Amino acid sequence: MTLPADYFVISSLQEDGKKLRPGDWIERIASSLASFDANRRLRYSASVQPCIVDGEKCLVVARGLEETNPQAYEFIMQFANSNKLCMRLDRRMDERALPCEAMAS
């Protein structure tokens, strides 16, 4: 089982407090690593998922992505750094964030 500290959260908020535009950047990045299941439903990777954390859309990234897909990890980190996005370790203990796909239903 993966512990919550094995993930980090990238917020839509930039260091200056502004929100990054376009607003769908989280879904775009998460979708690039997603796949379709047998029922043709989009399934996000366990390593990169859009989530709601404290009422805000965020991108939750597994730290292990650096080993399993170094190019994707490097892209995400460069994107976050170049856009000065706030990042933190995911320290939520008991509950995982609500995936955005669950919000649509």
pLDDT tens string 17-51: 999 999 899 999 999 999 999 999 999 999 999 99
State residue 79's pLDDT score: 97
Residue 24: partners with Cβ closer than 8 Å, 6 or more residues away: none
11 close to 92: Cβ distance less than 8 angstroms: no
54 within some domain: yes
The confidence score (pLDDT) of residue 97 equals 44
Domain presence at residue 88: yes
pLDDT of 73 > 80? The answer is yes
Residues of the domain holding 27: 4-93
In a domain, 100, yes or no: no
Rg, Å, the chain Cα set:
13
As given in the structure block, the two tokens for residue 83 are: 């856009």
**pTM over 0.85, yes/no:** no
User: Is residue 102 in a domain?
Assistant: no
Residue 101 is assigned to a structural domain of this protein? no
CATH number of residue 82's parent domain: 3.30.70.2340
Q: Is the pLDDT of residue 68 over 50?
A: yes
Q: What is the number of domains present in the chain?
A: 1
Chain Cα centroid distance, residue 32? 12
pLDDT for the residue 62: 94
Q: Summarize pLDDT for 84-103 with one digit per residue, the tens.
A: 999 998 876 544 444 444 43
Tell me whether residue 68 is in a domain: yes
